[in-house]
Structure 1
Amino acid sequence: MKRNRSALAGAALLISGAIALAGCSSGGTPDDEGSSGAGADPEAIITTNGTEPENPLIPSNTNEVGGGKILDNIFAGLVYYDAEGAPVNDMAEEITVEDPQLIRVKLKEGQTFTDGEEVTADNFIKAWNEGAKLSNAHLSSYFFEDIEGFSWDADSELTGLEQVSDYEFTIALNKPAADFALRLGYSAYYPLPDVAFEDMAAFGENPIGNGPYMLDGDGAWEHDVKIDLVRNDDYAGGRKPANGGLTINFYATQDASYADLLGGNVDVIDEIAPVSLPTFQDDLGDRAVNQPSALFQSFTIGQFLPHFSGEEGILRRQAISMSFDRAQITEKIFFDSRTPASDFTSPVIDGWTDELEGTEVLAYDPEKAKELWAEADAISQWEGEFKIAYNSDGGHDEWVEAVTNSISNTLGIEASGDPYPTFAAIREKVNDNTITTAARSGWQADYPGLYNFLGPLYATNAGSNDGDYSNPEFDDLLSSGISNTDVEAQVADFSKAQEILLNDLPAIPLWYQNVTGGYGEEVDNVTFGWNSVPIYHEITKAAE
């Protein structure tokens, strides 16, 4: 899919005036009311693939794809993103950026959670304060850092959130953030009903949302198996479902989901196992999907690991990065469904460039790699084995084996993969800082902006900064860029910041990932969005 770059450029510069968007996503819900069209069953359940969420389903404590896919369907924020990545008002009637540090939000009246409680300004304010609270240690607390009152040192109130009326509130920022309004479709900014604050842990197991779908009663979430969602008929936003609900099956492997697709046991999948990449487009014909998306893949070598801190660590990361051939792997293993990375973001995001200085560290150069490794050995002699931890349920075995074999052959060290059975298992080790090896990492964009690929992952103390990276010069450039209301100047700062990353390599960029997927013969109106996720509410299914 070719991205609408002009739409994103307009969205990135939200300086003055009102955002009163009414567009619909491309890909074609049959009509504005979400009806299913002739020959389709409006009560049909659409089955799809997913993974067991890492944590209970609390919006501000979910930063992984398995949980995010569910939350985005059972909650509605101020805006959502259409198939091209443009923001569309959802709970918001109007969002006005009065200056780079003050945003005014007016809500639509009459919107409700599925327990009947009306969605008001207070539901946003209380939810955001809960997500930002230091003692809660929510994974997405970083997304509230720019709001006045936020603190990394103690529990504090977001004093920048002021309720004007039941349906209006303002957001005062502690520094200019030119893309803050664009971020507001991300799940961390979803509202919560009052019942959530009675027992947040229990709520996370059976959440009550305000989106196009809701959990299908008690027991809808069968852990490690599936979650059943049904249409929320009280939802009045722009994502009214053309079907009766979703069943998201949690597959142990991508092979299993693809086998179910071929067997007619699942309707839509958004991942194809590497072993099936050579044949899936022939297998599925025009029901195959292979299109660019906002997916970036890498592996992270923590600053806290022996031999990977300071100057020695930089030399070793650079050596490792130059020890394997990205182009060969993307061709031979992924059959050109990936593109070797030349930065830390994604080509589908406005402002991306392939002209950064320092990209030679991403080129296969075994002789230079050996030279750099020897320089590191002069600082401290290498000992031990280099391992890359990965989740074996995600189709990573082949590339990890190829990368570690090449590292071993190039540098003359022992290198291998370290498989974990599930995504949740490896993330538990990463999040509690008990990981003792390098680890597979990656990013599916939360919102369509360059900053989203940089700030949450590499800024000091950022919530998804897996390697505990910290560089004051990088932080300053990031802050300068996000504070700048001139798009060209903003991109220039982000480019300079990325050139620091190319030297330090807090993560080793691998490739940009296409979304590869497909759908069955019984479904129609299937569109995969800018961030690789199917637009589920538009999908229709033939009546039996």
Structure 2
Amino acid sequence: MAHSLTARQPARQIRHRLAVIAAAVALAAAVTGTWPADGPVPARAAGDEVRILGGSPATLDPVEAGDAGSSAVIAQLFETLTAIDPSLTVRPALAERWELLEDGRQVVFHLRDDLRFSDGSPLGGEDVVRSWLRVIDPQSPSPLVALMLGVRGAREYLAGEVDADGVGLRAEGNRVVVDLVRPGGDFPSIVASPTFSVVPEGVGEDAAALEPGGFVGTGGYVLDAVTPTQLTLSRNAHYWAGPAPIGTIKLIGDLGGRSGVTAFEEGDLDYAPIGDFDASWIRFDPDLGPDLRAVPALSTEYLGFDTADEPFDDPRVRRAFAKAVDWNRLVRLAGSATVVPATSMIPPGIPGRSERSFLPEHDPDAARALLAEAGYPGGRGFPEVTYLTGGSTVDAGFVADVERELNITVRFETMDFDTYFTRLDDEPPDIWSLSWIADYPGANDFLGVLLGSESSNNYGRWSDEAFDAAIEQALEAADADAAREAFDRAEAIVQEEAPVVPLAHGSGWALAREGLLGATENGLGSLRFAGLAWDE
């Protein structure tokens, strides 16, 4: 759903890359129909054009992006120093190389020679520093501010205690030097997030800087035209990797009442994310089957509790709810080929993920005992419970299990995407469901970034000193084994205290037109448009 943000307005309503559970992975959320054609539709787009199913981004400002759809578009318009390829390997982008110094507490990025903005003006280290300081702007910090807090002085700058000179970021010609508070071997992968995109001066101050006509970017494409139903992107002649093979990308958000599959079949789309149901039969369809692609996703769907207010400020109550439900069974009953039950907040494929299960044990008797111990025997006297959901995998089963096992009625509450996160910020419900797509392939993106005491994404307002200490130890660890052990301790605390319950890990499907090369996503919800080409 389109949402207009004024320059420098905090994007609280689209916090981070959280998506309401019903939202689709990568470019599209739930979109229907086709963009009306003016004449006969070809079997595929012209050789210099690709048409992709994708909803309107909520914002094009990298530091304000909070949803997967916005981030996926921003990644085409603005470039980062590094990039994550489909194998989750960190690759050079604006930076041709980098090095870790001072026992890993300093990262030096070496920018490519003769970098240019899309208008041809030079791009240097000062532009990187200016862009990154916007992430920790005290007046309007990014929803992803947590990713910058490993930079020396970032916390103090955010608190208004030091000026920009007190932050461990500096430009030295074509070098960008970053001083960290702890060893930062994962920092080059962190800054591949679109939040760390390099933008020209004026972004965040002049609304025209993000509109057609005045748009200047650093990515493979520039914003050419915007309508209520379509975004048109044109290739950037000054892109560091050279002009993209495809001249025009059309992001189509209105399919005129038809499904993405129908639009693809009739030639209106060249790339279309689709759901499990369609994928289940398309796999065996002789015409569409060859066009079906599996879309990887490093994502976790989870349930959260408001730990700051009664009754879920009591860990016994949270544990009772967590143990009363057979989460594994509910996810499997959903019957999705691309969703698997979670045993951890960290999805498979993330380095540092343990094979241990951190899912609360299903034990209704223990759940009832915990509830009685907390002062609610048989559910008597328990206050009304509100569950905010955007359409979770487990909605109906969760509510039914709680009522059957604990004698507690849970009231559903749903709302549109634009106001979902405003509600979480301003008036947290008792329980909610969310999905998190990785910003970078790191375990902390699913633990400290979501549940740390100081994290802006900690909607349950949970705080635990032992958890914070375990996360700090993981980030300070000298090797991968020590880090994994510390992350395991952190997850064990989450399992015991139950501020959240991991539900499922998901992936997706898409249809890609025959002959479209490079249509491979990287698991972080992004398809690199500059890598697309038609096989002639």
TM-score normalised per structure 1:
0.81
Counterpart CA distance in 2 for 1:482 and 1:226 is 42
1:426 equivalent among 417, 420, 428:
420
**Which residue of the partner structure matches residue 7 of structure 2?**
none
Query: 2:317, 2:371 within 8 Å by CA — same for their partners in 1?
Result: yes
Q: Deviations over 1:201-220 (max 9, x none)?
A: 55455653200111114xx2
Task: Report the Cα distance in structure 1 between the residues aligned to 2:374 and 2:264, rounded to whole angstroms.
Answer: 49
Local SS of the residue matching 1:270: strand
Q: What are the superposed Cα offsets for residues 54-97 of structure 1, whole Å, 9 maximum, x if unpaired?
A: 4x322122232121111111111101111111111110022111
The aligned runs of 1:107-506 (5 Å cut-off) are: 107-150=111-154, 151=156, 152-154=158-160, 156-158=162-164, 159-196=166-203, 199-204=205-210, 208-217=216-225, 220=226, 222=227, 225-237=229-241, 241-250=244-253, 256-272=259-275, 275-276=277-278, 278-283=280-285, 284-290=288-294, 292-309=296-313, 312=314, 314-356=315-357, 359=358, 361=360, 363-378=361-376, 382-391=381-390, 396=391, 399-421=394-416, 423-430=417-424, 432-506=425-499
C-alpha separation between the residues in 2 aligned to 1:460 and 1:195?
Answer: 33
Once the 2 structures are TM-superposed, how far is the Cα of residue 446 of structure 1 from its aligned partner?
Answer: 0.8
Tell me the alpha carbon deviations over residues 302-331 of structure 1, each in whole angstroms, 9 at most, x when there is no partner: 22343111xx2x222222223333333333
**Aligned in 2, Cα 1:234/1:411: closer, same or farther, shift over 3 Å?**
same
Distance 1:451 1:383 in 2: 35
Which residues of structure 2 form unaligned runs of 5+?
1-43
1:89 to 87, 92, 99: 92
Equivalent position to 2:520, from 500, 504, 527: 527
Corresponding residue number in structure 2 for 1:16: none
2:388 touches 2:429 (CA, 8 Å); kept in 1? Answer: no
What secondary structure, in the 3-state scheme, does the structure 2 residue paired with 1:136 have?
Answer: coil
Structure 1 residue 410 displacement after superposition: 2.5
CA distance in 2, matches of 1:109, 1:466: 43
Task: Supply the distance in 2 between the matched residues of 1:70 and 1:132 (Cα, whole angstroms).
Answer: 22
Is 2:245–2:530's contact at 8 Å kept on the other side of the alignment? yes
One-letter amino acid of the structure 2 residue matched with residue 93 of structure 1: E
Distance in 2 between residues matched to 1:241 and 1:334, nearest whole Å: 40
Contact 1:148–1:160 under 8 Å retained in 2: yes
* Residue 49 (structure 1) aligned to one of 33, 51, 54: 54
Report the Cα offset of residue 104 of structure 1: 1.1
Post-superposition CA distance 1:455-507 (Å, at most 9, x none)? 21111221322222211111111111112231111111111111111112222
Partner of 1:33: none
Residues 225-247 of structure 1 show CA distances to partners (whole Å, capped at 9, x for unaligned) of 44322221221238x63322333
TM-fit CA distance, 1:346: 1.0
CA distance 1:456–1:233, change in 2 (3 Å): same
Q: Is the 8 A contact 2:343 2:359 kept in 1?
A: no
Distance 1:524 1:413, change over 3 A: same
Q: Secondary structure at the match of 1:429?
A: helix
Separation in 2, partners of 1:446, 1:372: 36
RMSD: 2.9
Contact 1:147 1:173 in 2 (8 A): yes
Q: Given the superposition, is the C-alpha separation of residues 324 and 175 from structure 1 closer, same or farther in structure 2, using an over 3 Å criterion?
A: same
Q: Which whole-Å CA distance do the structure 2 matches of 1:389 and 1:255 have between them?
A: 29
Deviation, 1:535, is 3.9
Give the letter for the 1:491 counterpart: R
Distance 2:274 2:383 in 1: 35
Q: Following the alignment from structure 2 to structure 1, what is the Cα–Cα distance between the partners of residues 255 and 368? A: 38
Partners of 2:334 and 2:393 within 8 A in 1: yes
Report the secondary structure of 1:322's partner residue: helix
**SS of aligned partner of 2:429:** coil
Secondary structure of 2:250's partner?
strand
Kindly, what percent of the aligned residue pairs are identical?
A: 18
Structure 1 stretch 151-160 or stretch 499-508: which is displaced more? 151-160
Task: Give the letter for the 2:176 counterpart.
Answer: F
Pick closer, same or farther for the CA change 1:255–1:490 going to 2, 3 Å.
farther
Normalization by structure 2: what TM-score? 0.82
Alpha-carbon deviation of 1:132?
0.7
Letter in 1 for 2:220: P
SS in 2 for 1:233: coil
Mapped to 2, the partners of 1:66 and 1:523 lie a distance apart of: 21
Give the match for residue 31 of structure 1.
none
Return 5+ residue gaps in structure 1 as ranges.
1-38
Task: Label 1:165 to 1:322 Cα distance change in 2 as closer, same or farther (>3 A).
Answer: same
Answer yes or no: is the 8 Å Cα contact 2:125–2:173 preserved in 1: yes
Determine the C-alpha separation between the residues in 1 that align with 2:72 and 2:171: 32
Q: Distance in 2 between matches of 1:96 and 1:253?
A: 51
**AA of the residue aligned to 2:369:** E
1:276 is displaced (CA, Å) by: 4.0
User: Deviations along 1:506-540, whole A, 9 cap, x unmatched?
Assistant: 22210111223333457454223233433433334
Rounded Cα–Cα distance in structure 2 between residues aligned with 1:460 and 1:253: 45
Change (3 A) 1:371 1:181: same
Q: Is the 8 A contact 2:301 2:436 kept in 1?
A: yes
Whole-Å separation in 1 of the counterparts to 2:153 and 2:338: 44
Distance 2:439 2:530 in 1: 19
Paired residues of 2:94 and 2:240 also in contact (CA < 8 A): no
Local SS of the residue matching 1:147: coil
Out of 71, 82, 102, the position equivalent to 1:79 is: 82
1:179-215 deviation digits (Å, cap 9, x = unpaired): 2222121122212212326x25554556532001111
Distance change in 2, residues 1:460/1:439 (3 Å): same
Whole-angstrom distance in 1 between the partners of 2:384 and 2:255: 28
In the alignment, is the contact (CA less than 8 A) between 2:428 and 2:460 conserved in 1?
Answer: no
CA 541–428 in structure 1, closer or farther in 2 if over 3 Å, else same: farther
Q: In structure 2, what is the Cα distance between the partners aligned to 1:472 and 1:200?
A: 42
